[in-house]
Amino acid sequence: MFDNFPLWPQRASSMAGNVDALFIFLLIVSGLMTLLIFTAIIYFAARYRYRKGVPAEQIEGSIPLELSWSLIPLGVFMVIFAWGAVVYFKGRTPPRDSTEVYVVAKQWMWKLEHAEGQREINELHVPVGRDVKLIMTSQDVIHSFFVPAFRMKQDVLPGRYTVAWFHATKPGTYHLFCAEYCGTQHSGMIGSIVVMEPAQYEAWMSGGTGGPLSATGEKIFAELGCVTCHRSDTQGRGPNLQGVFGKPVQLEDGRMLTADENYVRESILDPGAKVVKGFKPVMPTFQGLVSEEQLNALVAYVKSQSQPGAGVAKANAAVTAPEGAPGKGNQVQ
């Protein structure tokens, strides 16, 4: 019976236990508070019900009581707050050497692209026991990537990247929902996350594609002529992109920022917005000229240029696994 009438969601990621623990703590705290209040109300209501000739006893109030029922709950709330914040930070901070998947949401489907090049629609295959980082953007309205079994949710916005991550712990197939209302077929924007044993995953990955995403990006980089200015020496009209990603950049107006996915994206679409110090704002915009998928490939390529020993050839292999991380062995191409 409980197959069709579950009372607790599946637990299939490293975050699920953390969220459930806090949730259970909250259930206990609020259960106790409910019990306390309801018992008091029911007891008082019965014990002090109207009796002829027994007048109510007037009580003005009590400062110590007021203070204790403000401060004690406040203390409990602060514990919940701190605990919640810790869980949230963990869930918002992707580990460094995660496998990367680019997600493009549109009305009403999920397009997923592995850094290794596999493309999927409404279905994401991931290996068990590995950190997976999602770099997500939307082609139209706001969507939200929600996997209940992973206790993970992140809105997907048009015009920028949002990031989420998970670490699947149990093989199986799990629901993927769009959780932000996105139009007529919102409830049809669903899919599944297939968590596989590493060996199976290898087999699935070797199904063949057109090569890693960064290689696609490199091709686009050449086709669009980016390479004429962004040369691999210091003579180009644009900055040399080797080793730029993930590093601090000084802008022409003196500001400093870190070159992350959103910065690379903005620099392609709105090059004049944040020009690197020492360069002129001569780059034309590529807004409308590149699709979200091509943008993702370009970002992946720029990223690959910052992997250790980033030669063009090596970069492809190193996209997902810098510094000999365990992921490296999985690059079966």
Residues 5-24 that bind another protein (CB under 8 A): 5-9, 18-19, 22-23
Site track for another protein across 148-167, x = CB under 8 A: xx-xxxxx-xxxx-x-----
Give the separation between CA 315 and CA 232, rounded to whole angstroms: 14
The answer to whether residue 33 forms part of the interface with another protein (CB under 8 A) is yes
The answer to whether the beta carbons of residues 161 and 143 sit under 8 Å apart is: no
HSE-CB of 109 using CA atoms within 13 angstroms: 6
Give the separation between CA 105 and CA 138, rounded to whole angstroms: 5
The answer to whether the beta carbons of residues 188 and 108 sit under 8 Å apart is: yes
C-alpha angle with apex 7: 6 to 10, nearest 5 degrees? 70
- Closest distance to another protein from the beta carbon of 181 (Å): 4
The answer to whether residue 290 forms part of the interface with another protein (CB under 8 A) is no
Which of 144, 296, 316, 320 is close enough to bind another protein by CB under 8 A?
144
Shorter beta-carbon distance to another protein: residue 5 or 233: 5
Which of 121, 181, 228, 324 is close enough to bind another protein by CB under 8 A?
181
Q: Which stretch binds another protein (CB under 8 A): 218-226, 276-284, 303-311, 325-333?
A: 276-284
Give the separation between CA 101 and CA 111, rounded to whole angstroms: 10
Residue with the two structure tokens 């050449």: 222
Shorter beta-carbon distance to another protein: residue 142 or 224: 142
The answer to whether the beta carbons of residues 195 and 127 sit under 8 Å apart is: yes
The answer to whether residue 233 forms part of the interface with another protein (CB under 8 A) is no
The answer to whether residue 179 forms part of the interface with another protein (CB under 8 A) is yes
Which of 96, 123, 183, 223 is close enough to bind another protein by CB under 8 A?
183
Which of 62, 206, 250, 291 is close enough to bind another protein by CB under 8 A?
62
Shorter beta-carbon distance to another protein: residue 183 or 243: 183
The answer to whether residue 172 forms part of the interface with another protein (CB under 8 A) is no
Q: According to CB under 8 A, which residues from 65 to 124 bind another protein?
A: 65-66, 69-70, 73-74, 77-78, 80-81, 83-92, 107
Contacts of residue 88, defined as CB under 8 A and 6 or more positions apart, other chains included, come to: none
The answer to whether residue 238 forms part of the interface with another protein (CB under 8 A) is no
Work out whether strand 119-121 and strand 143-147 pair parallel, antiparallel, or are unpaired: unpaired
- Closest distance to another protein from the beta carbon of 146 (Å): 6
Shorter beta-carbon distance to another protein: residue 156 or 220: 156
Contacts of residue 176, defined as CB under 8 A and 6 or more positions apart, other chains included, come to: 110, 122, 124, 145, 146, 147, 190, 191, 192, 193
